[in-house]
């Protein structure tokens, strides 16, 4: 995998070392000591050259070229190549005059040759870097498309006919006695949840108002099926109901709260959910009491939620999860 990823760079550096070795006969070396001296110069030249390429890729390209700061990139590259040229030219003068006893080379005479050489190599390395990045991104896009197709296929295979489900729910609703209002309301709430999951929530982004409605229905349904000794509080406040968010982005935390909330008779069992939107900033909290004898486990749901946040809101979210005093606390902030 390593060699596949860096094949171009390996060949590039091997070609550079080969050029240094081929250049050896031009020097007046006729002893073993002189050969070792030349080997040392090859190592020095290669190290300086490798540093030039590394600094260009790690800093100049990453912080300037990839951010489309082209003028700054050119200026940074010229400064970097100039430093490389200054060191190389002075070192060449030293090895010719001291190690090989050739006619000393003036620094100025080889400066432009070394500068052009270093600049050309840096540009070639930059092209290799950009090509490699483009290839990696293309491969990532293909992998994402393949994963999406596989996910869709699994979904289609496991999907029950929605019309059958809704018709069944309508039949159940009609069969419930009119006086049993709670049961009828639960069927309606469950039907709304199902409709949201199958139809409305199958988009990249959805209005906050619809997400809040789904959240309220889910909490109401869970409250109806939970013990009376669990205190459930939901507080929602938003200024812009049309602001778009990723569907079901909060649900993993809410589901986790109802799954792991304490249910003992000797303590306070509570779930407190808060959602506040103001000026494109969403502040979401979800706290639930838990029994230390049955520790809370994040599981696949929370891992998937964190993965979605990283993919959809990278650098625009903050997630804090902690446990203290038998309270499992989730605090999520989103910048939309």
Query: pLDDT truncated to tens, each residue of the chain (336 aa)?
Result: 444 556 656 666 676 666 666 555 444 445 555 566 666 777 777 788 788 888 887 788 878 877 788 888 888 888 888 888 888 777 777 766 665 555 555 544 566 777 887 788 778 777 877 777 777 778 877 877 777 766 665 565 555 556 556 666 677 767 777 777 777 887 877 787 777 777 676 678 889 999 999 899 889 888 877 767 889 999 999 988 889 998 888 988 998 898 889 888 777 889 999 999 998 899 999 999 988 776 666 566 788 888 888 888 888 999 999 988 889 999 999 998
The sign of the torsion formed by the CA atoms of 312, 201, 305, 214 equals positive
DSSP string, 48-100: HHHHHHHHIIIIIIIIIITTT-HHHHHHHHHHHHHHHHHHHHHHHHHIIIIIS
Strands of the chain (E only): list them: 206-207, 230-238, 244-245, 269-278, 281-289, 317-324, 327-335
Q: How far apart are CA 177 and CA 91, in angstroms?
A: 96
What is the predicted pLDDT for the residue at 107?
A: 46
Measure the N-to-C terminal CA separation of the chain; round to a whole number of Å: 38
Tokens of 30: 């006729």
Q: How far apart are CA 191 and CA 323, in angstroms?
A: 34
What is the predicted pLDDT for the residue at 166?
A: 62
pTM metric for this prediction: 0.51
CA distances from 74 to 64, 81, 89, 123, 164 (A): 9, 10, 22, 10, 64
Q: How far apart are CA 282 and CA 30, in angstroms?
A: 76
């Amino acid at each position: 995998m390593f060699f596949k990823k860096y094949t171009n760079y390996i060949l590039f550096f091997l070609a550079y070392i080969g050029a240094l070795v081929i250049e050896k006969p031009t020097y007046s070396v006729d002893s073993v000591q002189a050969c070792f001296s030349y080997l040392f110069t090859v190592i020095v030249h290669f190290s300086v050259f490798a540093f030039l390429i590394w600094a260009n890729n790690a800093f100049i390209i990453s912080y300037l070229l990839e951010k489309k700061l082209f003028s700054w990139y050119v200026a940074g590259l010229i400064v970097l190549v100039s430093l490389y040229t200054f060191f190389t030219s002075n070192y060449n003068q030293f090895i010719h005059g001291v190690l090989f006893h050739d006619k000393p080379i003036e620094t100025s005479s080889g400066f432009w040759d070394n500068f052009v050489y270093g600049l050309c190599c840096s540009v070639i390395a930059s092209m290799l870097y950009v090509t490699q990045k483009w290839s990696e991104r293309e491969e990532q896009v293909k992998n994402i498309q393949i994963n999406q197709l596989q996910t869709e296929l699994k979904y289609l295979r496991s999907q029950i006919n929605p019309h059958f489900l809704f018709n069944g729910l309508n039949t159940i609703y009609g069969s419930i006695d009119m006086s049993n209002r709670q049961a009828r309301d639960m069927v309606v709430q469950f039907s709304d949840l199902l409709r949201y999951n199958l139809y409305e929530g199958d988009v990249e982004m959805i209005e906050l108002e619809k997400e809040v409605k789904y959240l309220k229905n889910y909490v109401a349904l869970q409250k109806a099926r939970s013990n009376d000794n669990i205190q459930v509080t939901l507080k929602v406040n938003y200024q812009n109901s049309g602001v778009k968010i990723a569907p079901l982005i909060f649900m993993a935390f809410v589901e986790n709260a109802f799954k792991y909330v304490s249910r003992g008779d000797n303590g306070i069992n509570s779930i407190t959910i808060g959602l506040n939107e103001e000026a494109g900033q969403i502040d979401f909290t979800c706290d639930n009491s838990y029994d230390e004898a049955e520790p809370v486990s994040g599981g696949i749901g929370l891992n998937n939620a964190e993965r979605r946040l990283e993919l959809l809101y990278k650098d625009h979210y903050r997630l804090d999860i902690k446990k203290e005093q038998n309270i499992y606390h989730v605090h999520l902030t989103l910048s939309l």
